[in-house]
Amino acid sequence: MRVEREVAPPSAPRKASVVAPANIAFVKYWGAHDLETVRPMNPSISMTLARSVTHTTVEVLESDGPPGGPSDRSSDEADELWLVTDAGELQASEGVFRRRALAHARRVCRELGSRASLRIATRNSFPTGAGIASSASGFTALTLAVRAALGESIEADADLSRQVRRSGSGSAARSVFGGFVEWPSDPADSDPAAVQIAPADHWPLCDVIAVVASDEKSVSSREGHVRAPSSPHFARRLELLDGRLKYARHAIADRRLDLLGPELEKEAIELHLIAMSSDPPIYYWLPATLDVLEGARALRDRGVPVWATIDAGPNVHLICEPDDEATVATTIAEISGVESVLRDTIGGGPQLSEEHLF
Ligand code: DP6
């Protein structure tokens, strides 16, 4: 979709809002050739979500000026970043998040040849930092909203995926697309992009998310990528991964949850086995994480086809078909230690929004 610039003098503020989704990986990105350029050591496959989203509004405060002129913004000093609280108030963002987000917004402006300064506000529909990919949805929404506010296209293609990936969040490269998405890994490719392998309407899978902790995770995914190769199981995982990827692609193509489910659950356990055996180890799980895994197994014993996956945090994503979603959600909600249950489903990818946050 091409977003036209507003018909206005170049100095007039331009504003755009984008809603972009998180995704849940069935085959996980864990370990990087290079974290600066964000090149993964293994291909990953994910499903884009519909309701776990980040909503971001970007306003261009000053139009582009000539390099070195009064409106030359080569630093982010003049940029503003606001978080929207649950009460709908704007709160100034601080710390690492602010630094990373503004550095990326600046990079996108630079790549588009703009020196405009920006006002940005953002809001997540889900708890931040607890293993639901908030950087994936956040950096996708930010990249696309900056582009749209500058009158650039937000059409989902390889270049857009690369630009989002350069934020530093590899999983964000996949959130540019709806449906089922693969992010290949080729050591020779210095700027890898994700690709859609099937659209959302191919297979309406559900993701019932058991939230057992909603605070910030203790060890970032970035640190997890750094430590991963120190696990004695990491090299073996990479050797075996080709088979798993083929299996997962085939199961998605044929809409076979009986094939995909066991594989995605093994994959999640393997990621955490590697995290726990890294040096120093990373323990993302809480006791309730194990109880939810046990709950999924009990549901399967009762004939409900549901399988679990867990990203870099303690929360558990239960993947099932729409007919079983209500049973899974109500059963899991009864497990002690489950704070809340989010019911999500496969989604179609980022969208422009008419609703501005300021
Ligand atoms: C476990 O480096 O993409 O979610 O930027 O924090 O979202 P964030 O993490 P990123 O690593 C993602 C790790 C993962 C697996 C995955 O989504 O593939």
**Structure confidence by residue, pLDDT tens digits, 82-100:** 999 888 899 999 888 899 9
Residue 12 has pLDDT above 90, yes or no: no
Residue 130 has pLDDT above 90, yes or no: no
Instruction: Tell me what pLDDT residue 76 has.
Output: 67
291-347 confidence digits (pLDDT tens):
999 999 999 999 999 999 999 999 999 999 999 999 999 999 999 999 999 999 999
Residue 158: band (very low, low, confident or very high) from pLDDT cuts 50, 70, 90: very high
Ligand 1 centre distance from Cα of residue 49 (Å): 15
- The response to whether residue 130 sits with its C-beta less than 6 Å from ligand 1 reads no
- The response to whether residue 48 sits with its C-beta less than 6 Å from ligand 1 reads no
Mean pLDDT, range 251-274, rounded to an integer: 98
- The response to whether residue 164 sits with its C-beta less than 6 Å from ligand 1 reads no
DSSP per residue over 239-308, as a string?
HHHHHHHHHHHHHHHTT-HHHHHHHHHHHHHHHHHHHHTSSS------HHHHHHHHHHHHHHHTT--EEE
C-alpha torsion 220→222→224→225, nearest 10: 170
- The response to whether residue 133 sits with its C-beta less than 6 Å from ligand 1 reads yes
Q: CA 317, CA 319: separation in Å to the nearest integer?
A: 6
> Which residues pair with residue 82 across a beta bridge?
92, 121
Ligand 1 centre distance from Cα of residue 291 (Å): 24
Ligand 1 centre distance from Cα of residue 221 (Å): 6
- The response to whether residue 115 sits with its C-beta less than 6 Å from ligand 1 reads no
Q: CA 248, CA 205: separation in Å to the nearest integer?
A: 14
Q: CA 2, CA 154: separation in Å to the nearest integer?
A: 7
Residue 7 has pLDDT above 50, yes or no: no
Q: CA 310, CA 130: separation in Å to the nearest integer?
A: 10
Predicted model pTM: 0.92
Mean pLDDT, range 216-225, rounded to an integer: 89
Residue 75: band (very low, low, confident or very high) from pLDDT cuts 50, 70, 90: low
Residue 9: band (very low, low, confident or very high) from pLDDT cuts 50, 70, 90: very low
Ligand 1 centre distance from Cα of residue 211 (Å): 18
Mean pLDDT, range 168-189, rounded to an integer: 96
Mean pLDDT, range 73-78, rounded to an integer: 66
Strand runs labelled E in 76-204: 80-84, 90-92, 117-124, 180-183, 195-198
Instruction: Tell me what pLDDT residue 66 has.
Output: 46
Residue 117 has pLDDT above 70, yes or no: yes
C-alpha torsion 191→60→155→143, nearest 10: 40
Instruction: Tell me what pLDDT residue 10 has.
Output: 41
Answer yes or no: are the C-beta atoms of 178 and 302 closer than 8 Å. no
Ligand 1 centre distance from Cα of residue 104 (Å): 17
Residue 73 has pLDDT above 90, yes or no: no
Which of 271, 272, 311, 316 to probe ligand 1 with, by most ligand atoms within 8 A of CB? 311
Instruction: Tell me what pLDDT residue 214 has.
Output: 82
30-43 confidence digits (pLDDT tens):
999 999 999 999 99
- Of the ranges 59-68, 130-139, 147-156, 305-314, which one carries the lowest mean pLDDT score? 59-68
- The response to whether residue 38 sits with its C-beta less than 6 Å from ligand 1 reads no
Structure tokens at 285: 């799980």
Q: CA 296, CA 299: separation in Å to the nearest integer?
A: 5
Instruction: Tell me what pLDDT residue 143 has.
Output: 98
Which of 221, 226, 245, 289 to probe ligand 1 with, by most ligand atoms within 8 A of CB? 221
Pairing of strands 117-124, 80-84: parallel
